[in-house]
Amino acid sequence: MSLIQQGIFGLVTGSYIAIAAIGFTLIYGLVNMLNIAYGEYLTIGAYVGFLAADSGLPLVAVLGLGFVATAAIGWTLTKLFFRPVVEKGPIPLLITSVGVGIVVRNGVRLFSGNELRYLDVGQPAVYRFSALGGVFVNTKQLLVVGTALSAFVAVHLLLTRTNVGIAMRAMKDNESLARINGARVMRIRNLVWLLACGLGGLGGVLLGIQTSASPTMGFQQLLVILAAATLGGAGSAYGAVVGAYILGIVIEMSVVLLPAEISQLGTTVAFLVLIAVLLVRPGGITGQEVTKV
């Protein structure tokens, strides 16, 4: 029973990591930026979701508002802080993102305090399966997984069925060539930022619904998101999804498989898996090169 139950928990954990990891890897792949402030988009999304839920909006609106508001705020932060230093290269950009992350994190703390905020979407219904030894799922977990699957499908359709998606893929292969062929590079970049930040916000809303919103919640997820993107193959949206689910399942399984004294080391085990995979496949699961960072 326990392993099946842990597998379900792993799918839930992997789901919100995956949504965020797609956004992270889109920025990484198209803007060539390791955005350390990315975790804060989850935090922003969760707090927007809290405000939306607190004002009585329906769940769909809470999710939508979390996406849209975080996209707008994230894009504004990009305009204010990242674009002015983008010419300086990846290292100044990286350092700037560290600073922006700290500013946003403490800004949220100043604005709302340290208290946890709960996105009240009602008491979840629990479904138990006695045939599986009492394994259960609740409606919050189903919401997280269902929303994640919807997001994956939407991103897949965007990348494969729209001109914008085709332009994004062209830019990732050769930006100069894409520009010569008429791709509106700045417009595409703006869209990538909006999409990536929005996905971060959506992941944050789901995480907030599943647990709670706090000033450090996004930052706490950053390493796992980065690991998921790297495990899947940095820059690959599909790889990020696979990497996120692998990490989510490993983290949750470790809690029951490790001895009780060290059961809190689940995240450590997940990173050991990451290291092992990268030793065998330096480009991650999808074989994307990461050596250009």
Partner 1 sequence: MFGFNGGSVPDSTEYSPNRRQILKYGAAAFGVTGLAGCSSDGSPDGGSGDDSDGDTIVFGEPTMETSQFGFIMAGTNQSIDLAIEEINESGGLLGSTVEVSRRETGSDPTEFREVFEQFVNNDGAVGIIRATSAELTPNLEFVAERETPLITNGAGTTALDDYGGDSGTPEDMSDDEWVWRTIASDSVSTAGGAKYMYEQGNERMAILAGNSQGERSWANSFEAAYENLGGEIVSRLEVQNGKNSYQSELSRLFEADFDAWGLSLKRDDATTLVREWNNAGYGGQMIAESGIRSDEFVDAVGEQAEGALIAFTATSGPNYGEFEEKYREFGDAELHQWALAGYDAMTVAALAAQQGGDASPEAIQQNLASVSKPPGTAVSSFPEGKEALENDEEINYEGVLTPTDFTDDGNVVGDVRVAQLTPDGFEDEALVSADEIRDLFTS
The 35-64 site mask, x for binding partner 1 (CB under 8 A), equals ------------------------------
Asked if residue 76 binds partner 1 (CB under 8 A), the reply is no
Closest approach of partner 1 to the CB of residue 132, in Å:
13
Residue 269 touching partner 1 (CB under 8 A): no
Q: Which range binds partner 1 by CB under 8 A, 28-36, 54-62, 64-72, 270-278?
A: 28-36
What is the chain written as a DSSP string? -HHHHHHHHHHHHHHHHHHHHHHHHHHHHHH----TTHHHHHHHHHHHHHHHHHTT--HHHHHHHHHHHHHHHHHHHIIIIIGGGGGG-HHHHHHHHHHHHHHHHHHHHHHH-SS-B-----PPPEEEEGGGTSEEEEHHHHHHHHHHHHHHHHHHHHHHHSHHHHHHHHHHH-HHHHHHTT--HHHHHHHHHHHHHHHHHHHHHHHHHHS-B-TTHHHHHHHHHHHHHHHH-TT-HHHHHHHHHHHHHHHHHHHHHS-GGGGGGHHHHHHHHHHHHHHH-TTTTTT---TT-
Question: What contacts 285, CB < 8 A, 6 or more positions away?
Answer: 231, 232, 233, 239, 242, 243, 246, 277
When asked if residue 115 is in the footprint of partner 1 (CB under 8 A), the reply is yes
Q: How far is the CB of 7 from partner 1 (least distance, A)?
A: 10
Is 249 among the residues that bind partner 1 (CB under 8 A)?
no
The single residue among 24, 28, 67, 193 that binds partner 1, judged by CB under 8 A, is 28
Could you say which residues in the range 130-149 bind partner 1, by CB under 8 A? 136, 138, 140
Q: Looking at 64, 142, 164, 267, which residue binds partner 1 (CB under 8 A)?
A: 267
Question: Considering only 56-64, 65-73, 193-201, 231-239, which stretch makes contact with partner 1 by CB under 8 A?
Answer: 231-239
Regarding 107 and contact with partner 1 (CB under 8 A), the answer is yes
Q: Does 9 bind partner 1 (CB under 8 A)?
A: yes
Q: Is 216 among the residues that bind partner 1 (CB under 8 A)?
A: yes
Q: Is 112 in the site for partner 1 (CB under 8 A)?
A: no
Which of 62, 207, 209, 285 touches partner 1 (CB under 8 A)? 207
Among 57, 59, 72, 255, binds partner 1 (CB under 8 A): 255
Cβ proximity to partner 1, 32 vs 68, nearer residue: 32
Is residue 70 a contact residue for partner 1 (CB under 8 A)? no
